[in-house]
Amino acid sequence: MPSRNRETWERPPDLPETHYVDAAAYADPDIFADEMSRILARSWRFGCHESELPDAFDFRTIDHAEVPLVMIRGEDGRIRTFYNVCPHRGAKLFNDLSGNARLKTCFFHHWTFDWKGDCVSRPRPKAYDDMNLRAEDCGLREVHTDTLYGLVFFNLDDRPIPFADYFGDALASFERTLTEEPVEVFHYHQAVVRTNWKQWVESNMDHYHEWMHVMLRRTNVLTEETLFKRHVELYPYGHIMFRGMQIDYQDEATVVPREQSKALPGLTAETFHSTPIFPNTVLMTRGTVMRIDTTTPLTPDTSLVEFRGLGLKNDSEEDRIVRIRQHNEFWGPMSHNLPEDLFAAEQCAKGYRTGGATYGIICREENMSAQDDGGMRHFYAEWSKWMGRPASDPRTKAA
């Protein structure tokens, strides 16, 4: 195979346009701005798990969406999402990551709001009477919020795609796991990653990179036999399910043994499922634990990733310790697996950021078995639809 010169390096690959991605999709600031308004501002996005808001008036702020947001569980049990912005003069209302507040009074001029977002008091309101600025015109800005199997999603669009249509059956495989027994978030950490947001999402769609992970090589994931027992399923709106991986933990001396009795409902202790939900959330299980990643674009080449670990709420103290170890050994910040993925995403970003890389190749076809690139092609077909331009040539806007 000969090396290439400038002309042959920059020439689009001789592949169907669905089978490669132009580097501009990862680096161009105009394309990034378009992604914000066409995809992130219109899609259903994961906010938190309802166990993070167990009681009435519990709130949780989301500071890294394009606008600051706050999710609040109301007295009626419903979770609502609001702009975390005072309608008087724009001050940020809630400053803590989480807490409990029956009413929220803005620190600045003391307008006060309830859990429905209604403005319930303004100091000395009579001076507004001449201008007819009524309290009912001073409520918070609410955004659409809905919950599926305890996962709380928000949508910044006033007229969003109907929630049930958007998800369809894409998360049905997790229904038992998330609902048969109460689950809760027991782990949360964030990482700012020097990579485009899609490159982090790709790390859970590109199973061909499994060769990189020492622990996957050691736990029998990469034999010819197991590779072809796994498959990729595609769902409407760009969602994907990777199913069929069974991980053999028992023969690996350096990992915590997994007992069948501690498997999450609907899973064996060996089951690995992974479901990227378009555009920026991934759910995955390793038998006894679940992980949820949410990737928020900050700049074209910087992303904030939130990592959550979930397990059974009714764990004994001892069981919880074991579950935390089983989570952290693969998915914690100092684990076998996660730092390798972070390293890879940042390394790829260097190629795109410098202009050195020209195209990403996603043309593997293996009957949609484990290492077929069909999942990534599905994601980029959806991306192209929302963006009105093909990922293979994103500088050219479609009509």
Contacts to Fe ion by CB under 5 A: 341
Interacting partner of 206 out of Fe ion, ligand FES, none (Cβ under 5 to 8 A depending on kind): none
Distance separating alpha carbons of residues 31 and 12, to the nearest angstrom: 19
What whole-number distance in Å separates Cα of residue 303 and Cα of residue 200? 8
Q: Map residues 41-70 to x or -, x wherever contact with ligand FES holds by CB under 6 A.
A: ------------------------------
140 binds ligand FES (CB under 6 A): no
Of these, 4, 96, 108, 189, which contacts ligand FES (CB under 6 A)?
Answer: 108
Query: According to CB under 6 A, which one of 111, 153, 154, 383 is a site residue for ligand FES?
Result: 111
Q: CA 47 to CA 107: how far, in whole Å?
A: 25
In the bound state with ligand FES, the residue whose beta carbon lies nearer, of 109 and 395, is: 109
Nearer to Fe ion, 73 or 286 (CB): 286
- Smallest distance, Å, CB 111 to ligand FES? 4
Shortest distance (Å) from residue 112 CB to ligand FES? 9
194 contact, one of ligand FES, Fe ion, none, CB 5-8 Å limit per kind: none
Choice between 86 and 289, CB closer to ligand FES = 86
Q: Is the dihedral of CA 150, 156, 158, 161 positive or negative?
A: negative
Judged by CB, which is closer to Fe ion: 329, or 341? 341
Which listed residue (38, 64, 88, 194) binds ligand FES by CB under 6 A?
88
- Asked if 82 touches ligand FES (CB under 6 A), the answer is no
Shortest CB 94 distance to ligand FES, Å: 12
Determine, following the binding rule CB under 6 A, whether residue 109 of this chain makes contact with ligand FES. Answer: yes
Q: How far is the CB of 327 from ligand FES (least distance, A)?
A: 40
Which partner, ligand FES, Fe ion, none, binds residue 341 by CB below 5 to 8 Å per kind? Fe ion
Site for ligand FES contains 85 (CB under 6 A): no
Could you say whether residue 229 binds ligand FES (CB under 6 A)? no
Q: Compare residues 110 and 189 and give the one whose CB is closer to ligand FES.
A: 110
CB of 113 to ligand FES, least distance (A): 9
Which of Fe ion, ligand FES, none is residue 111 near (CB under 5 to 8 Å by kind)? ligand FES
Window 164-203: residues binding ligand FES (CB under 6 A): none
Q: How far is the CB of 72 from ligand FES (least distance, A)?
A: 17
> Nearest approach, Cβ of 89 to ligand FES (angstroms)?
4
Q: Is 222 in the site for ligand FES (CB under 6 A)?
A: no
Residue type, 111: W
> For residues 213-235, b (16+ Cβ closer than 10 Å) or e, as one string?
bebbebbbbeeeebbeebbbbbb
Please report, in angstroms and rounded to a whole number, the separation of the first and last CA atoms in the chain. Answer: 39
Which does residue 9 bind out of ligand FES, Fe ion, none, counting CB within 5 to 8 angstroms by kind?
none
Q: Does 234 bind ligand FES (CB under 6 A)?
A: no
Q: What is the CA radius of gyration of the chain?
A: 23
Residue ranges in contact with ligand FES by CB under 6 A: 86, 88-89, 91, 106, 108-109, 111
